[in-house]
Structure 1
Amino acid sequence: MTARNLSLDSIEELAQEALARAGAAPAQAGPVARATRLAERDGIRSHGLMYVPVYAEHLRCGKVMGDAEPEVSQPRPGAVRVDAAHGFAHPGIDAGWPAFTAAARKQGVAAMALTRSYNCGVLGHHAERLAEEGLVGLCFTNAPASMAPTGGHRPVIGTNPFALAVPDGAGGARLVIDQSASAIAKSEIVLRARQGEKIEPGWALDALGNPTEDAEAALAGSMRPAGGQKGFGAGLMVEIFAAALTGANLGLDASPFSGPQGGPPGTGQFFLAVDPAAFAGEAFDVAMTRLAQSITAQEGARLPGARRATNRARIETEGVSVPQELLDRIAAA
């Protein structure tokens, strides 16, 4: 398979141009192109350039409004609400960000809820952004139903990830936890299906509720929750925060994040920010330092997010090898 090596600047430019051709205004395309760059930078290919043709398709068929203008309100001192207006999630997040972080510093705790939103990409990047501002970030996003409850086979909730990031006291994140409620992120199965590869045992069920290693059968069936009932419980928690608390569509009512079927998904995000200075003060950093060192001191152990950081250092220097087939799909999008 032929491929081209692209710099991160070129990746961002490529995404921006494709989104603009599909009808996204600069205010919508810019943040999504930036998020595409960050996903490729961290080696998270399933949320990088691979998604650009999907974004373009959704702009053209009306699942995403390319001229959406997010509306921000602040009904309570510590509550920021963003109506993403069925545009991309990233511009809505950016629109509410200043009021959200300012409220967290003033109140000690603040929350931002997005409704009528869309796929927000790598959830951990939003939590990490809070950590870079010295805040503990806890983020939730729901998704179209693709995961059945333990013992069932009809999807009820999405893969519904949550992300937690903790500041390191030096303008960065000490650790980033980013995990879905399912055994694996659905985007990984989509990637395997596109590449004609099998999926791992325990990842998914087919439409009849039988275990499957066929990626296409998995996409027609349901994801398996991580850790059985515990994973499904975590997914329900995310659904409550990201959909019920924001007024967004439940996963049951959201159209798919892939394909042109249905109108805008109308999913939601819920972000919590906590200023450690309001609670533990300097003791927070002392505790986190000790906790982190107790992990990294063990041979073979690493902090959550360490693999992404390693990828980041390498890819920023080496660039990204992009299959020509994907470049052709983006050019045709």
Structure 2
Amino acid sequence: MVQLSIEEATRLATLALRKAGAAQAMAATTARALVRAEAQGLASHGLSRVPQYATHLRNGRADGHAVAVVAHKKGAAVLVDARQGLAFPACDLAISTAITTARELGVCFAGVTNSHHCGVLVDHLRAATDAGLVGLGFANAPAAMPAAGGKHPVFGTNPIAAAFPRRNADPLLIDLSLSEVARGKVMVAAKEGKAIPLGWALDVQGRPTTDAQAALEGSMLPLGAVSSPKGSMLALMVELLVTAVIGAQFAFEASSFFVDEGNQPRIGQAFILIDPGALAGADTYFERMETVIAEMLLDEGVRLAGARRLALETKALQTGLSIPDALKSQLDQLVG
């Protein structure tokens, strides 16, 4: 393992993306997000994505000089066009616009279309909690999961997220993939030559597999798929919310993130921000939040959502990051 400071990791990631064709603003915004994910212990969405993004930039799967714009706004509805660039600047624009709108109108729905992989979904909502707003997030991804009863990939792993601010305490941060596990974990296992547990994925013939590479070539199993179609139904709900509503591509229309060649994915993200002050009122909201948290913590061993990742991030800011030697070599090669 190699030890890197947060600053050095950010510098390396930014430079690697710049060398691959990203404009400075896009490279810097993306690098900060990936380093933050790495700091939280989310290696599958951290620096391991830099080589992937760099390849997509070089191969035209993402436009490194795209500038996201607010394409349409009506009342509390906002549509941001990422213009086939990396997702992070577009998501930042969507969230900043949504914060302003939600403060004015009480709520905002902000969609991002023509987008790319958005990293750790809940991290986009942290700016909303800083502003005292509740945030919900949804995203699709290239097809990786079958419909209920099916075998071929139709839906993405389609994460959902929520962030709830607290008064004088860290927010609750909830983030989950609608597959049994995030596909990024399978990607990491494949790179390391490790097996995956049975029940995570199917191979290309629709058979259960423990082979991580076969899983990447096949499909992920929806959450709870062994006993229920609920995960698949949730994936369908998210798929429609971030495509039919905002005009992004369906999962099955987007080439996999895990291949070098392919189309511009043009997938979607959606964020809903809510001002508690416009409903029950801020004082009532914060009192209710602390009441349920206190009840949860009556049981020993209960861990609040997001607490572990925030603790790891705080520690990493002081001690830096540990990344595999092979990944450090990849980053060094990318920066030339």
Match of 1:263 in 2: 263
Q: What do you get for the CA RMSD once the two structures are aligned?
A: 1.3
The more displaced of 209-218 and 264-273 is 209-218
For 2:54 and 2:48, the matched residues in 1 are separated by 11
Aligned AA (1:169):
R
Match of 1:125 in 2: 123
Do the aligned partners of 1:136 and 1:165 also contact (CA within 8 Å) in 2?
A: yes
Q: Do the aligned residues in 2 keep the contact of 1:165 with 1:173 (CA within 8 Å)?
A: no
Q: CA deviation at 1:76?
A: 0.8
Aligned to 2:5: 7
Contact 1:183 1:226 in 2 (8 A): yes
Correspondence for 1:201 among 190, 198, 207 = 198
After the TM superposition, which residues 136-155 of structure 1 pair with which residues of structure 2 at under 5 Å, given as runs?
136-155=134-153
AA matched with 1:309: L
1:176 matched to 2:173 = yes
**Residues paired across the two proteins, number:** 330
> In the alignment, which residue of structure 2 is the partner of 1:292?
293
Which digits, 9 at most, give the CA deviation of each residue in 1:70-96, with x for residues without a partner?
Answer: 121343121111110000111112233
The question of whether the paired residues in 1 share the 8 Å contact of 2:139 and 2:160 is answered with yes
Unaligned 5+ residue runs, structure 1? none
Where does 1:186-197 land on structure 2 (aligned, <5 Å)? 186-197=183-194
Contact 1:84-1:92 at 8 Å conserved across structures: yes
**2:98 alignment counterpart:** 100
Alignment of 1:295-314 (within 5 A): 295-314=296-315
Are 1:214 and 2:208 counterparts? no
Does 2:319 correspond to 1:318? yes
Cα deviation for residue 280 of structure 1 reads: 0.8
SS of match in other structure, 1:27: helix
Per-residue deviation, 1:284: 1.1
Shift of 1:97: 3.3
Aligned to 2:241: 241
Q: For residue 84 of structure 2, what is the aligned residue in structure 1?
A: 86
Contact 1:166/1:173 (<8 A) preserved? no
Q: Is the 8 A contact 1:132 1:173 kept in 2?
A: no
Give the secondary-structure state (helix, strand or coil) at the position aligned to 2:48: helix
TM-score, normalised to structure 2, is 0.95
5+ residue gaps in structure 2? none
Q: Secondary structure at the match of 2:164?
A: strand
Q: Secondary structure at the match of 1:156?
A: strand
Q: Which runs of 4+ in 1 moved over 3 A?
A: none
Answer whether contact 2:145 2:153 (CA < 8 A) is retained.
yes
Partner Cα distance (2:230, 2:130) in 1: 30
Confirm or deny: 8 A CA contact 2:186 2:196 kept in the other structure.
yes
Distance in 2 between the 1:151 and 1:275 partners? 40
Q: Does 1:44 align with 2:39?
A: no
